[in-house]
């Protein structure tokens, strides 16, 4: 066995992050202050968004965005089953109902066709759609926007995987002339394409909404402590609360790391794209795998392959064996995702059967996420492909090897 392990992901951090952290520590102001302001400004301008509000996590970004819709009890929000638990969790926490939807076979993103079927059935009770740009591949934006227009819905995008993702000339989260787009929510969790350890960002084109979201990040206070301390006209100890808020502000320490990460985010995407294309080329001859689509502009956060059932009838068992073998060969893989409707809590609450969403069910059983990160070398990609080939050969019938 080659002794050097290949991780699933590795943050690209170093001297630039350290230098920024030193600046903040020397300044002595550690929580929300000048670094957060600069991080918001630079993030916003890079993707050409009007407003960016930094928060403590991607989950908090989603929660604040949804809270700002002032959902009434019983109102429904549609979200894909093929995603991470953050979206359904915050929908429920805000007293709304979760409606899950199946995935598109091509990229496992939300199925627009299935969403339409739900909207036709649930007419009038759905307030919003919360799609995720899975792995950094954008959802069908035109299809989504037409549904929002037709059924009078708001869109909150989960862009936890999608910094930076481009759709034609536009950036996900940036100005795109999309009247139904309420907000876009990013995550800067440790394994993400841009990381602050923990953190997130909300972008919007609406100034009033931006002001409200900013207020919600810190208990509903009109002004955060940094602004009050800076203000010449008002006593710094005075603040006004006129709405119940959250504790979701980003610290200057996190923002300082974020600023260094922003500098290399576009180069990092280029490097991941090169590695993803190398995977696609080296695996293109395989008839036993479904490869991710080669989408122009993707952030390439994740590289998710799927074993085909026709090659591996006992799909899930073989998928698990392949992942175990790769792990023993020093290659870390992961599973994105076990669909929401198959987790005990959501299954019981929403009264779902595993097979309710066939594309999600099938996708889950065959999916393996291979390592992909900016500093991954060509040789590491070759080694993953070689080890994958070896383990697949062990499980294929002889005539298919």
Ligand X SMILES: Cc1ncc(COP(=O)(O)O)c(C=O)c1O
32-58 residues labelled b (16+ CB within 10 A) or e (exposed):
bbbbbebbbeebbebbebebbbbbbbb
User: Per CB under 6 A, which of residues 173..212 are in contact with ligand X?
Assistant: 187, 189, 200
Cα distance from N-terminal residue to C-terminal residue, the chain: 22
**Of the listed 76, 114, 154, 192, which one is catalytic?**
192
Of all residues in the shown chain, the one whose CB is closest to ligand X is 58
Q: How far apart are CA 37 and CA 54, in angstroms?
A: 8
Q: Per-residue x/- mask for ligand X, residues 23 to 62, rule CB under 6 A?
A: ----------------------------------xxx---
Closest to 86 (Cα-Cα) out of 115, 112, 58, 128: 58
Contact with ligand X (CB under 6 A): which of 98, 103, 126, 132?
132
339 binds ligand X (CB under 6 A): no
Q: Taking CB under 6 A as the rule, does residue 136 contact ligand X?
A: no
**256 sits near ligand X (criterion: CB under 6 A):** no
Q: Which is nearer to ligand X, 97 or 187 (CB)?
A: 187
How many residues contact ligand X, by CB under 6 A? 13
How would you class 142 by CB atoms within 10 Å of its CB: exposed for 0-12, middle for 13-18, buried for 19 or more? Answer: exposed
192 carries an active-site annotation: yes
Instruction: Give yes or no for residue 298 binding ligand X (CB under 6 A).
Output: no
| CA 72, chain centre distance (Å) | 26
CB-nearer residue toward ligand X: 133 or 383: 133
Q: Which of residues 64-123 bind ligand X (CB under 6 A)?
A: 83-84, 86
Q: Which is nearer to ligand X, 173 or 200 (CB)?
A: 200
Looking at residues 150 to 169 of the shown chain, list those that interact with ligand X (rule: CB under 6 A): 158, 160-161
Residue 65 contacts residue 182 (beta carbons within 8 Å): yes
Q: What is the separation of C-alpha 399 from the centre of its chain, rounded to a whole number of angstroms?
A: 40
Element (H, E) at 278: helix 252-283
**Cβ closest to ligand X, residue 161 vs residue 306:** 161
How far apart are alpha carbons 270 and 240 in whole angstroms? 46
Q: Which positions touch ligand X (CB under 6 A)? A: 57-59, 83-84, 86, 132, 158, 160-161, 187, 189, 200
What are the residue numbers of the active site?
192
């Amino acid at each position: 066995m080659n002794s050097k392990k290949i991780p699933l992901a590795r943050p690209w951090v170093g001297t630039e992050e350290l230098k920024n952290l030193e600046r903040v520590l020397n300044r002595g102001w550690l929580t929300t202050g000048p670094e957060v302001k600069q991080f918001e400004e630079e993030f916003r301008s890079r993707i050409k968004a009007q407003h960016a509000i930094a928060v403590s996590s991607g989950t908090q970004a989603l929660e604040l965005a949804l809270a700002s819709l002032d959902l009434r009890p019983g109102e429904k929000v549609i979200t894909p089953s093929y995603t991470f638990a953050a979206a359904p969790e915050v929908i429920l926490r805000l007293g709304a109902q979760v409606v899950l939807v199946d995935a598109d076979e091509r990229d496992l993103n939300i199925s627009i066709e299935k969403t339409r079927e739900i909207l036709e059935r649930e007419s009038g009770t759905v307030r919003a759609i919360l799609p995720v740009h899975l792995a950094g591949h954008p959802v069908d934006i035109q299809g989504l926007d037409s549904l929002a227009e037709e059924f009078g819905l708001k869109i909150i995008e989960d862009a936890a995987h999608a910094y930076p993702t481009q759709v034609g000339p536009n950036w996900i989260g940036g100005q795109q002339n999309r009247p139904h787009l309420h907000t876009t929510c990013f995550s800067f969790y440790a394994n993400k394409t841009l990381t602050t350890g923990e953190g997130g960002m909300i972008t919007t084109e609406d100034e009033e909404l931006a002001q409200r979201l900013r207020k919600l990040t810190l208990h509903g206070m009109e002004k955060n402590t940094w602004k009050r301390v800076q203000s010449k006209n008002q006593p710094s100890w005075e603040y006004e609360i006129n709405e119940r808020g959250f504790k979701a502000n980003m610290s200057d320490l996190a923002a300082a790391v974020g600023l260094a990460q922003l500098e290399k985010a576009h180069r990092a995407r280029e490097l991941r794209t090169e590695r993803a294309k190398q995977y696609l080329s080296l695996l293109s001859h395989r008839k036993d795998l479904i490869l991710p689509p080669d989408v122009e502009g993707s952030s390439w956060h994740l590289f998710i392959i799927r074993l085909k059932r026709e090659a591996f009838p006992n799909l899930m068992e073989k998928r698990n064996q392949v992942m175990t073998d790769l792990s023993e060969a020093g290659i870390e893989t992961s599973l994105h995702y076990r669909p929401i409707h198959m987790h005990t809590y959501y299954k019981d609450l929403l009264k779902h059967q595993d097979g309710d969403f066939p594309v999600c069910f099938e996708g889950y059983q065959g999916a393996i996420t291979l390592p992909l990160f900016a500093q991954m070398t060509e040789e590491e990609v070759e080694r993953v492909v070689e080890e994958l080939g070896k383990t697949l050969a062990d499980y294929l019938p002889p005539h298919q090897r």
